[in-house]
Amino acid sequence: MAERHDVVIIGAGPAGLAAAIYAARARLRTLVLDESIPGGQVKTTHKVSNYPGFAQDVEGAALAAAFAAQAQRFGADVRRAVEITKHDLASPVKTLELDEEETVEARAVIVATGARPRPLGVPGEDVFKGRGLSYCATCDGAYFEGKDIHVIGGGNSAVEESLFLTQFARTVTIVHQFQEFQAEPASAQEALAHPKIRVLFGHEPRAFHGEKALERLEVEDLRTHERKQLRTDGVFVFIGMVPRTELLAPYLELEPGGYVETTDGMETKIPGLYVAGDLRVKRFRQITTAVADGTVAALAAQKYLRAG
């Protein structure tokens, strides 16, 4: 027998947990599924400075835990480390097989699976993942105490995470393809003034080299096309995100870049199927916009369920 719910939310980031808070508070039987622990990208962010309600910076992990605790307080069942092994999201009653062991059903499903770090796609990247190459400063920064490391990117994430990494590393060299940062001016100025941070503008990574672990980063000067290998103890990559829409690909036509088009109510063309958060087509992707998406999706799902 399949376990029946009113709404199943796939993804426990800010969008998914906001949806869970609203759905559970409306007394809908709410199940939240995540392949990891709740929090999405927020849980790997060392500090959040622009989320309303906090006069001081808040640790990303603490904010994520608060979101999850609030959803559970209202009765949402939040399950972690769950793999969806089969799914039918097109039928009036949607079904999901979990870990090849159990099946859950719901008339409404909200997909809020977010995004993953965008890979560079250069030689050696797959070889050195977890062996000196990382996409998460909060996860791995402490392993580089007193080391000389490099950061790839020049947007907000790259610059802010570089500042975070200075508390561990001896030096942090930012490698950026343009001649100036794309980050917010305040963060960019702080990075440029930091004694531990060096910047290599106008360069792009071309390969990673090493024996058992990463030892050298190969870069190209975009002006002269000269290539050189930089000695490094580790590299962190922050060049944007890729939407995690694999679950939706069999059911929906994806926009260029892999994003999903929805209505203002987070609805898709399939009745009862909603999409919220960073995998939607939208102009800005912030914690606050993800929370707003989750709120709207839950309210729309509530209206749909009570109409039928």
Catalytically active residues are 136, 139-140
Burial 193-213 (b: 16+ CB within 10 A, else e): eeebbebeebbbbbbbbbeee
How is residue 159 written in tokens?
Answer: 């610059």
How is residue 195 written in tokens?
Answer: 């004694």
